[in-house]
């Protein structure tokens, strides 16, 4: 079953969540293992495990996301479907897992936010500021946009070339103009273009940055 390959392919489309190659995981397929050892060996923070069971005309696919540093379960789900619908079910499950895990509301990001909220403000890194800023930006209010920009600026002081921060700085100006809350509209458009151009210099293939040019 090509579920593993499809999930890796779908998750890899989300540039904000690095995914290791499937070949790196082959050594662990079907063998007892300690997730924390895998995390250290592959230098990953999360491990997505799964299994497939077929019983007559039914099949069950299970998936679970595990924190590779602590071994704690972050998320799990079970999918029961007719075995005859294998190909259709494969696509459905792949999409569900990819959507559930990725994006700003995905389980990976939410797990990172939960860890970040337990940190002291002095210990926040650029990625933490990006997560906080994304949360503020998605409130889609003038106040949220300003809060997001302040957080992104703090992150950029720590990591000037962290592309998601640069790109989403551009997004704050785009949202501001859409909301009609920009005090200086030409300046906001210029700032959007400046940050989008800088983001594309860091990652020419980023769709969001390209759409803002």
Contact call for residues 29 and 3 (beta carbons, < 8 A): no
CB 131 within 8 A of CB 109: yes
CB 182 within 8 A of CB 144: no
pLDDT single digits (tens) 156-182: 999 999 999 999 999 999 999 999 998
- 3-101 — its CATH code? 3.40.50.10070
Per-domain residue ranges for the chain? 3-101, 119-211
What is d(CA 16, CA 50) in angstroms, rounded to the nearest whole number? 23
Q: Going by CATH, does the domain composed of 119-211 fall within 1.25.40.10? A: yes
Specify burial of residue 43 (Cβ count, 10 A radius: 0-12, 13-18, 19+).
exposed
pLDDT tens-digit profile of 16-75?
677 888 788 777 777 778 888 888 988 888 888 888 888 888 888 888 888 888 888 888
């Amino acid at each position: 079953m090509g579920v593993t390959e499809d999930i890796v392919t779908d998750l890899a489309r989300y540039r904000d969540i690095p995914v290791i190659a499937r070949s790196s995981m082959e050594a662990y397929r079907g063998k007892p293992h300690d997730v924390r050892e895998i995390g250290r060996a592959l230098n990953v923070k999360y491990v997505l495990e799964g299994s497939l069971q077929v019983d007559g005309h039914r099949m069950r696919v299970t998936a679970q996301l595990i924190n590779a540093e602590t071994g704690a379960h972050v998320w799990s789900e079970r999918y029961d479907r007719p075995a005859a619908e294998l190909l259709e079910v494969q696509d459905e499950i792949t999409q569900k897992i990819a959507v559930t895990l990725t994006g700003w509301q995905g389980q990976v990001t939410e797990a990172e936010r939960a860890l970040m909220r337990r940190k002291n403000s002095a210990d926040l890194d650029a990625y933490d500021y990006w997560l906080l800023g994304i949360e503020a930006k998605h409130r889609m209010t003038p106040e949220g946009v300003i809060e997001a920009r302040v957080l992104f600026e703090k992150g950029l002081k720590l990591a000037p070339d962290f592309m998601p921060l640069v790109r989403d700085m551009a997004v704050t100006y785009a949202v501001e103009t859409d909301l009609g809350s920009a005090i200086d509209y030409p300046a906001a458009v210029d700032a959007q273009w400046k940050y989008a151009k800088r983001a594309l210099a860091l990652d020419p293939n980023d769709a969001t940055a390209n759409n803002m040019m």
